[in-house]
Structure 1
Amino acid sequence: MTSTNDHIYSAIIIGAGFGGLGQGAQFVQEGIDDFLILERGNDVGGVWRENTYPGAACDTQALVYCYSYFLNLKVSRMFAGQEELQGYLRSMVEEFGLGKHIHFGQNITATEWDQDRRLWTVHTADGSEFLTRSVVAAWGQLNEPNIPNFPGTETFEGVAFHSSKWRHDLDLTGKRVASIGSAATAVQYVPEVAKIASNLTVFQRSANYILPRDQYIFTEEESARFQENPDTYRQLRQEIHEFREAGFERTRRHTAASEEGVELARQHLETQVSDPELRAKLTPDYDFGCKRILRSDDFYPALTRENVELVTEAITEFTPRGVRTADGVEHEFDVIIYATGFKSHAFMGSMRVSGRDGFGLDERWGNAPEAYLGIAVDNFPNLFLVYGPNTNLNHNSVVSMLEAQHRYIAQAVQHIAADESRFLEVDRAVVEKFNAHVQEELQKSAFSSDCSSWYKNEDGRVINNWSGTVEEYRSHTHDLQLEDYLQLAESGPGK
């Protein structure tokens, strides 16, 4: 498709992951039917489509990692795996009739606001253009793989790939494998790779706080009870939510709760690792919660295997045979896996977003993305972000944040669609006041502590995480407050 579609949609959602599909389902429930979901891939799922490495799973309990109006009643275990989570999203498409709204293979290159027509034009790589009153950007925070630019990477004669682009065609049995990175992704695939590789070397930049996952597989009777009486599921879901909400105190600096978190992580480490030298390497030297808190029952045991080595010296360069570390040692490998995370600050990837007077979103943000409620940005009318700046969580399910955003955005889209002369542009003063408060609160949080974290930019400003609890965010986003938006005198398009 290369011709312009002249139809003007009420909204276009960018992305068909948890955020995009949830917004579409919310629209359907609110009676909004004139919308599209544009997805660059060939299937739904977002991170659960892309991340298919061995052991891929969610480290948040599945009962709270789903929408309140579409419970994952067929979930098989407390911490669901990648296939099960993608299956949930596919079921969501069917349940809410989203298939007719989704266009796959749509690589969006730019979006432009036309103030005279009060419309957005969405451009795709194949030359297509779509017109819409509102744009809902559900591109997420973790969609662009981050691969460090080590000297000599092009000289390596083996195979190297990022964990989100797992080479399922490559048999790692008997191979000498390196994992560059030891955080959220690595703790899941390292135990699996360790079972088949001849040698596995894990390169760790800094240790992580790891708590027990305590995986629980539901019995057939329990699964049947969930489906026959969803209230039993809801009760357990609410208990987990309240427990996780209480855990927010652990992320606040110098509190008894944070000390409790340190102690739980220490006990877990000491229970599973007896070697004092290895334990020392695996002991964090920063505040609990400064980095993402991990959950695993099998990562530490994997590191104690005879064929697994943990290396804490920094990598200085790649060589044809492997990598060299700061101590001068060359480590030889057949395969190198990057568990180096994502470009978490590149919210819009390579897409050009042009607002009022052609002003670019990248220009507005610089290295410090911010938005009102993580949703609205001044100079960008009718643009709404899902999982935007300062809406990530460390203590609870981010899906609960998404659901709050979806309801708020649906109110905004309905308001705009009711009159073609309407548009919503958040007041710059509102954005600044809101974010000043968020940043002030974050100073009390371990997120602002002294450690290297994807939560922060190079200046130390926390730009990914929310400063409070889910309930506090729900309160902020419960109702669309029109006074937060510019009340302009124009009475119609172009006037």
Structure 2
Amino acid sequence: MSSAHQTEVGPLERPDLRARYRIERDKRVRPDGTDQYLEPVGRFAHFSADPYTPWVERDPVVDDVEVVIIGGGFAGLVTGARLVEAGVTDVRIVEAGGGLGGVWYWNRYPGAMCDTAAMVYLPLLEETGRVPSAKYVEAPEILAHARGIAEKYGLNDGALCSTVVRELVWDEDRSRWRVRTDRGDELRARFVTLGTGPLNRPKLPGIAGIDAFEGRCFHTSRWEYDYTGGDSSGAPMTGLADKRVGIIGTGATAVQCIPRLARDAGSLTVFQRTPSSVDVRANQPIDPEWFAALDPGWQREWLRNFATLQTGGFAEQDLVMDGWTDMAVRIRDRVIADAVAFTPKDFRQAYEAADDEKMDEIRARIDAVVSDPATAEALKPWYRQRCKRPCFHDEYLDAFNRPTVRLVDTDGRGVERIDATGAWVGGQHYELDCLILASGFEFGTPYERRSGFDPVGRGGVPLSKAWADGMVTLHGIHVHGFPNLFVIQTGHAANLISNVTHNLVEAGTTAAAVIAHARATGAVEVETSAAAQEAWVDLLEDPTTMLTYDANCTPGYYNNEGAPLGHRERLNQSRYAAGPAEYFRYIDAWRSTGRFEGLEFRPQTGKDEH
């Protein structure tokens, strides 16, 4: 019997567990780090194209608008909504996809859904009046909500979809941004907001021979339903009934689509380099009557509650009650119970004890669900839960009990090579008709590479040069040397990755407030002062508060693929010193005063605005 099933012996003792974590990590550390992944070029250039909306020729648009929003995902949508609420309606969205929705426009793979509860993940629920169908909702419902925001606030009007920005340049003479696109559009905007997101460009596994495969091959974010059959709502993929399907990747995306593939494919081979940590989801429908009885302002309360508990704070109750808050509360309570002086060492020991307990539960659940001992052993994650994106799913493990599903565990090495008819692992060849790449998106690569353009600010300085030594901002939103530009993101702010949309709502609300103030006071330009930006970056760079990563974590996009983090990488991923909940309180107070400290509002100085 494998060691994974020696339940009568009990869990591994802590020293042995630490050693196992290190061994598993060392298997997976690669010298090429993030360079191991390939860009979607050459044979795979079509992965950057849109399989969902036909490209339609149109005449170029020449226009002068108040605000151009680049990116039509939730970052752009919530910013646009807040602008409209503030009375700014001359807004135009530019979006690469054939429709608005961002990541939820692109991610239509079967089983796609969010791992964060809908009550806190779906922004502007109160404003739109939408009632989520369940605690966790699937992608079609999320996309419908995004489109509902656009409809309510009139953001579809004038939106330029299937359009990619190629140039963004500050015109100092006119205090306007010039925006040029791949459609020949030329826009002039008083303000520009960037909501391009950190996860929008597919990355491909750097496996030898990947371009030699002669069967069907596609990325999960560009799902080819014309081949598989079915649709994003869950209809059976009848086109796969007689196909030998392989999938590379076992991260959050694969965890969601593998159960549907297991259901429909003639056979499914799952190639695994590192198993995911998969906890219980326990999804359940939302009672419309209960939802209707919630007091006004309920979503703001839920957001604060979630952020507070996520950062070790206290609340009278856990409103969300999910895997994210469960782990945070466990750590907090263990610190209180075990700590003597609340030193970093006390916290670390309490954190490790709570995490050991949680990961023992996750590994035990695999034993309880997966019938084959060898498969169960291979599916067990040997690392801390927060080393990689935690997953929550109730059907993933069961999929491996199907006779048509085969797990090929590569013991951390990955697929060796691909040829015309399949993949090689450990000297064994696996014949495939279809190869699906669940390899995720670029993360941490330069902004201009992911977005396709490099904003050029005052004095002809590109953003890539301003950020050459690491991202510098005020509040993660404003950049010195780039007037009237607002970055809607998570970094340099709360960086609450368990609920990205909360970050976007706060950033969008802040940008709208600043723009409205500039309009009300007649300011032509608004920009962070160099001193304010420097002070903010100094706060982020405090060595006692900068984000750090466990050296024993298995490689992934959370930790720069296991490569050492230099100053630039740490700065790019840093957050407000006191944590997400405190940042949200801080930025709300900052904009509520109406003083907007750290920003300079400049009046008209005789420049030609026309």
- Contact 1:241–1:396 at 8 Å: present in 2 too? no
> What does residue 44 of structure 1 align with?
100
The root-mean-square deviation of aligned C-alpha atoms, in Å, is: 3.0
SS in 2 for 1:16: coil
SS in 2 for 1:379: coil
- Alpha-carbon distance, 1:75 to partner: 1.5
Change (3 A) 1:258 1:488: farther
265, 283, 291: which one pairs with 1:226?
Answer: 291
Q: Distance between the aligned counterparts of 1:367 and 1:300, measured in 2?
A: 43
Name the aligned partner's letter for residue 386 of structure 2. G
Name the aligned partner's letter for residue 344 of structure 1. F
Q: Distance between the aligned counterparts of 1:76 and 1:234, measured in 2?
A: 17
Q: Distance between the aligned counterparts of 1:379 and 1:22, measured in 2?
A: 25
Change (3 A) 1:175 1:456: same
- Contact 1:174–1:198 at 8 Å: present in 2 too? yes
- Contact 1:22–1:406 at 8 Å: present in 2 too? yes
> What does residue 471 of structure 1 align with?
581
- Tell whether 2:72 aligns with 1:19: no
Name the aligned partner's letter for residue 439 of structure 2. T
- Tell whether 2:426 aligns with 1:312: no
SS in 2 for 1:92: helix
Moved more, 482-491 or 99-108: 482-491
Deviation track 1:214-264 (CA, whole Å, cap 9, x = no partner) reads: 11023xxx214424x3439938x8458625642344578551544454344
- Tell whether 2:428 aligns with 1:329: yes
SS in 2 for 1:434: helix
> What does residue 66 of structure 1 align with?
122
* 1:105-184 equivalence runs, <5 A: 105-170=162-227, 171-184=239-252
- Tell whether 2:587 aligns with 1:485: no
Change (3 A) 1:466 1:60: farther
Between the aligned residues of both structures, percent identity stands at: 30
Change (3 A) 1:426 1:149: same
> What does residue 356 of structure 1 align with?
458
Q: Distance between the aligned counterparts of 2:302 and 2:587, measured in 1?
A: 23
Deviation track 1:314-364 (CA, whole Å, cap 9, x = no partner) reads: 212211111222x22222211111100001224452123111222222233
**Unpaired stretches in structure 2, ≥5 consecutive residues:** 1-57, 228-238, 313-326, 332-347
- Alpha-carbon distance, 1:402 to partner: 1.2
421, 437, 451: which one pairs with 2:554?
Answer: 451
Q: Distance between the aligned counterparts of 1:329 and 1:366, measured in 2?
A: 45
Name the aligned partner's letter for residue 320 of structure 1. A
> What does residue 155 of structure 2 align with?
98
Name the aligned partner's letter for residue 247 of structure 2. S
> What does residue 406 of structure 1 align with?
508
Q: Distance between the aligned counterparts of 2:444 and 2:226, measured in 1?
A: 31
423, 427, 442: which one pairs with 1:343?
Answer: 442
- Contact 1:245–1:469 at 8 Å: present in 2 too? no
Name the aligned partner's letter for residue 143 of structure 1. N
Instruction: Report how many residues are paired.
Output: 488
- Tell whether 2:292 aligns with 1:292: no
478, 484, 499: which one pairs with 1:376?
Answer: 478
Change (3 A) 1:436 1:268: farther
Q: Distance between the aligned counterparts of 1:232 and 1:416, measured in 2?
A: 30
Change (3 A) 1:246 1:445: farther
Q: Distance between the aligned counterparts of 1:91 and 1:489, measured in 2?
A: 37
SS in 1 for 2:156: helix
Q: Which has the higher helix share?
A: 2
SS in 2 for 1:131: strand
- Alpha-carbon distance, 1:18 to partner: 1.1
- Alpha-carbon distance, 1:12 to partner: 0.9
SS in 1 for 2:423: strand
Name the aligned partner's letter for residue 607 of structure 2. P
Q: Distance between the aligned counterparts of 1:307 and 1:342, measured in 2?
A: 29
Which has the larger Rg? 2
Q: Distance between the aligned counterparts of 1:367 and 1:293, measured in 2?
A: 30
Q: Distance between the aligned counterparts of 2:551 and 2:120, measured in 1?
A: 27
- Tell whether 2:319 aligns with 1:246: no
- Tell whether 2:279 aligns with 1:211: yes
- Contact 1:442–1:448 at 8 Å: present in 2 too? no
406, 411, 415: which one pairs with 2:517?
Answer: 415
- Tell whether 2:526 aligns with 1:424: yes
- Alpha-carbon distance, 1:20 to partner: 0.8
Q: Distance between the aligned counterparts of 1:449 and 1:134, measured in 2?
A: 44
Change (3 A) 1:31 1:267: farther
Name the aligned partner's letter for residue 342 of structure 1. F
Change (3 A) 1:180 1:366: farther
Deviation track 1:43-91 (CA, whole Å, cap 9, x = no partner) reads: 1111111111110111111111123442664211111111111111222
Moved more, 163-172 or 305-314: 305-314
Deviation track 1:158-195 (CA, whole Å, cap 9, x = no partner) reads: 11100000010112212111111001100000011011
Name the aligned partner's letter for residue 493 of structure 1. K
- Contact 2:490–2:496 at 8 Å: present in 1 too? no
**Unpaired stretches in structure 1, ≥5 consecutive residues:** none
- Alpha-carbon distance, 1:41 to partner: 2.2
Q: Distance between the aligned counterparts of 2:490 and 2:306, measured in 1?
A: 25
Q: Distance between the aligned counterparts of 1:181 and 1:398, measured in 2?
A: 23
Q: Distance between the aligned counterparts of 1:2 and 1:335, measured in 2?
A: 39
- Alpha-carbon distance, 1:367 to partner: 7.9
- Contact 2:524–2:602 at 8 Å: present in 1 too? no
Q: Distance between the aligned counterparts of 2:92 and 2:381, measured in 1?
A: 46
- Contact 1:420–1:493 at 8 Å: present in 2 too? no
